[in-house]
Structure 1
Amino acid sequence: MIGGGQLARMMVPPAIHLGLRISVLAETPRSSADRAADVVGDYRDPETVYAFANTVDVVTFDHEHVPQPILRELEARGVQVHPRPEALQYAQDKILMRQKLAELGVPVPDWAAVETEAHLQEFIDAHGGRAVVKTARGGYDGKGVRVVSQADEVRDWFTTLAEDGHVGHLLVEELVEFTRELSQLVARRSSGEMRTWPVVETVQEGGVCAEVLAPAPVENPATLAEAARIGQVVAEGVGVTGVLAVEMFETVDHRVLVNELAMRPHNSGHFSIEGSVTSQFEQHLRAVADLPLGDTSMTAPAVVMVNVLGGPAEGPMPVRYAEALAAHPRAKFHSYDKQPRPGRKVGHVTVTGDDLETVRAQARAAAAAFS
């Protein structure tokens, strides 16, 4: 696995259970997945990645940032890479993603690739005077995303792209009026076998996922059916191997529009560790190792995952951790072994049960024990 973050960390237990040896190329010695880190190095350095790949049978990812030339060279050398570069490019570049989704006939917000302030301002003016602008590459958790009314509000982004020697294309989209955000997780093997989890609702705070409700409360059954259909169409259409997360908006008129793609285990699927027969982490390993996929049925009628953002403002984490465990014995705590920092995802809490609102209250209280 390239990348030593919390996704790699949570991949270790199911790898052990499946009898797979997992190796990690981590960015720093003190990473979340440091116990499985065999190599510490730069994933953007070709020779570091090639040397690491020579020690494993299959390469997969904790993030989408490994450059395409490195990935394609790995394949040219006979290394199994999952998801393949041809699929991963659509999670790496938002403009390519929008183009592919349009080709697949998947509903998306109105959008354009713009390279000048004048072109951007034309789009803004044609869409009610406000729009969402995104950097094509590198943004996540609210980074690389701005809601603007004037094109000069992203002048620094155009300048940075020009200084880096790139054509200054940014992605601009209509500002969608939505009632909630949904996510569909799909797992796919290279053979084409697919499994899906129930559609979930995600709750964002400051551009960062704060809560996941699984399954998503049924407000309109047709909406959830459409979200599930879209997830499978995208997984098949891009040819992904592994876990794919399709993040969507449910609009005020009950349409479903695709917002983002992630081709790896995703924050919206962390609930599945306790909430599904087969977690997204085990399923990802099964898929990239070309093993039969597992059952994705829910283990309880209601499951809520709440992210622990920031960590304790004061007091050592181990002490707060013990106190939280004692106060909330029904909650399952997952620490990412990260130093507290405002807004940082340092862990998550999951609670399962029969009643959504009861479970949600318990999960929120348990997560708050770290604040």
Structure 2
Amino acid sequence: MRENGRDERRTRMALRVGVIGGGQLARMMIAPAVELGLELRVLAEAEGMSAQLAATAVGDYRDLETVRGFAADVDVVTFDHEHVPQEVLRALVDDGVAVHPGPDALRFAQDKLDMRARLAELGIPQPDWAAVATTDELQAFLDDHGGRAVVKTPRGGYDGKGVRVVSDAADAADWFEALDGGALLVEELVSFVRELAQQVARRPSGEIVAYPVVETVQRDGVCAEVFAPAAGATLRLIEVAEGIGRSIAEGLGVTGMLAVELFETDDERILVNELAMRPHNSGHWSQDGSVTSQFEQHLRAVADLPLGETTQRAPWAVMINILGGPQEGTLDSRFADAMADQPGAKIHTYGKAPRPGRKVGHVNATGDELDDVVFVARAAADHFR
């Protein structure tokens, strides 16, 4: 919505929320939008994407006029991903469009060097890091940090892409050669016990709610499983993780869902790994395991509606990702078997053609005993492997 157009908005039958990006996150906003009485419109990158049911436009999210045309027919703009260029976002804001999260916040999810610098200013705990523009600078960091480190491209990486563990500066020589100015991000190789994720939601008026801190399991750089809440989490861990999430949301001015990926270290520190300013894989469990799913919560937040409860519906919830691979038959042919075998599991599909390593769906399960919930979720997911 235009920031000064709230009275006009109230006279309409439905608030129009525009989502830039037609992937599975936009797809999973469709059902809660209907339930909330919102009109969801999607700018998809191509025909036939996951969110095609709500796609009202197809075009390049990097093209200002395409995005302007899409934004002209909605009341508020939000995102399925963080890749819309800053110049496009700022032009929308200058046009009077309500953009959530706004460009001033979103840039910290778009550029990891900017993120690290801002989190340092806020005093948020994070790994040792540096911006390195040459192999000599990288080698100096390696020499000071035990001979191994993590190198990341500042922009565009996800699901393990744009990330390398290196033990010699030459391991990143091709990335330095491809640099057109700027620098790479290098971080200490953290010795961690497990990976966690903390989600919070913040609306423009400032209200914030937090979800339980969860444990995430990564395989080959891709989230494979999520356990909610994180087993054995102490009161201190819960308070520290939630405090970090709230501080980042407020300090960066995030509106909508924020996911903070964390390391729990073997010396009991909690360190920030990465950020996402949208619904996130670590929160898919909330579709069936929380009073308010992350997708409903994101819509509530960007529309500046009162936020929903984040209480878990059962003591435990588990999410298992379904990845595409060299399988016989289609995913559809496997649903009936999975549902018959594990009627307590909830299976969510993204409408994507399977290919190796591609996220094509996920399974959720909830219950009173963690071992039982894990068994149900894994048994259902096994039908797709």
- Shared fold, TM over 0.5: yes
5 Å-filtered alignment, 1:302-313, equals 302-310=316-324, 313=327
**Distance change in 2, residues 1:5/1:290 (3 Å):** same
Once residues 156 and 229 of structure 2 are traced to their aligned partners in structure 1, the CA distance between those partners, rounded to angstroms, is 29
Query: How far does the alpha carbon of each residue in 1:169-191 deviate from its partner, in whole angstroms, 9 at most, with x for none?
Result: 00000000000001000000111
Partner of 1:27: 45
| Number of equivalences | 367
1:365 aligned onto 2:382 = no
Q: Does residue 16 in structure 1 map to residue 34 in structure 2? A: yes
1:277-318 Cα deviation digits (max 9, x unpaired): 000000000010010001110000000000001156111222
Once the two structures are superposed, what CA deviation does each residue of 1:91-148 show, in whole Å capped at 9, x if it has no partner? 0000000011101100000000011111011001110000000000000000000000
- Aligned-partner SS, 1:4: coil
Alignment of 1:244-255 (within 5 A): 244-255=258-269
CA distance in 2, matches of 1:318, 1:294: 33
The runs of at least 4 aligned residues of structure 1 exceeding 2 Å deviation read none
Q: How does 1:153-302 map to 2 (within 5 A)?
A: 153-162=171-180, 167-302=181-316
Q: What SS does the aligned partner of 2:314 have? A: coil
CA distance in structure 1 between the partners assigned to 2:313 and 2:234 by the alignment: 23
Partner residue in 1 for 2:152: 134
Distance, in Å, in 2 between the alignment partners of 1:364 and 1:330 is 12
1:99 to 117, 124, 139: 117
TM-score if structure 2 supplies the norm length? 0.94
2:257 and 2:297 in contact (8 A); partners too: yes
Once the two structures are superposed, what CA deviation does each residue of 1:6-42 show, in whole Å capped at 9, x if it has no partner? 0000000000001101110111101000111111111
Whether the 8 Å CA contact 2:326–2:356 is kept in 1: the answer is no
Q: Any conservation in 1 of the 2:349–2:362 contact (CA below 8 Å)? A: yes
2: CA distance, partners of 1:110 / 1:291: 38
Q: Secondary structure at the match of 2:224?
A: strand
Letter aligned with residue 205 of structure 2: S
Letter in 2 for 1:35: L
User: 2:215 & 2:239 partners in 1: Cα distance?
Assistant: 14
Distance in 2 of aligned mates of 1:219 and 1:242? 26
SS in 2 for 1:247: strand
Please state how far the C-alpha of 1:224 moved relative to its aligned partner: 2.4
SS, match of residue 40 in structure 2: coil
Say yes or no: does 1:120 pair with 2:138.
yes
Matching residue's letter, 1:46: L
TM-score by length of 1: 0.98
CA distance in structure 2 between the aligned counterparts of 1:247 and 1:353, rounded to whole angstroms: 25
AA matched with 1:27 = E
The one-letter code matched in structure 2 to 1:298 is Q
Name the CA distance, whole Å, in 2 between partners of 1:255 and 1:234.
17
CA distance in 2, matches of 1:243, 1:290: 12
Could you tell me how far 1:223 is from its partner in structure 2? 1.9
For structure 2, the residue ranges without an aligned partner over 5 or more in a row are 1-18
Moved more, 306-315 or 251-260: 306-315
Once the two structures are TM-superposed, the CA of residue 161 in structure 1 deviates from its matched residue by 2.1
Residue 14 of structure 2: aligned partner: none
Cα distance in 2 for residues equivalent to 1:15 and 1:311: 32
Paired residues of 1:218 and 1:224 also in contact (CA < 8 A): no
RMSD, aligned α-carbons: 0.9
Structure 2: distance between partners of 1:271 and 1:155? 40
1:197 partner amino acid: Y
The answer to whether the 8 A contact 1:311-1:317 is kept is: no
Residues 1:320 and 2:341 aligned together: no
Amino acid corresponding to residue 112 of structure 1 in structure 2: A
| Post-superposition offset of 1:153 | 1.2
Query: How far apart are 1:221 and its partner, in Å?
Result: 2.9
Percent identity (aligned): 66
Instruction: Letter of the 1:174 partner, please give it.
Output: E
Cα distance in 2 for residues equivalent to 1:317 and 1:240 = 37
* Contact 1:311–1:370, Cα closer than 8 Å, also in 2: no
Which amino acid letter does the alignment assign opposite residue 267 of structure 1?
A: N
- Write the distance in 1 (CA, Å) between the matches of 2:60 and 2:96: 22
Q: Which amino acid aligns with 1:133?
A: V
Given the superposition, is the C-alpha separation of residues 311 and 273 from structure 1 closer, same or farther in structure 2, using an over 3 Å criterion? farther
C-alpha displacement of 1:168:
3.5
3-state DSSP of counterpart to 1:337: coil
Contact 2:320 2:381 in 1 (8 A): yes
Matched, 1:80 2:98: yes
Q: Which runs of 5+ in 1 are unaligned?
A: none
Asked if 1:151 is matched to 2:194, the reply is no
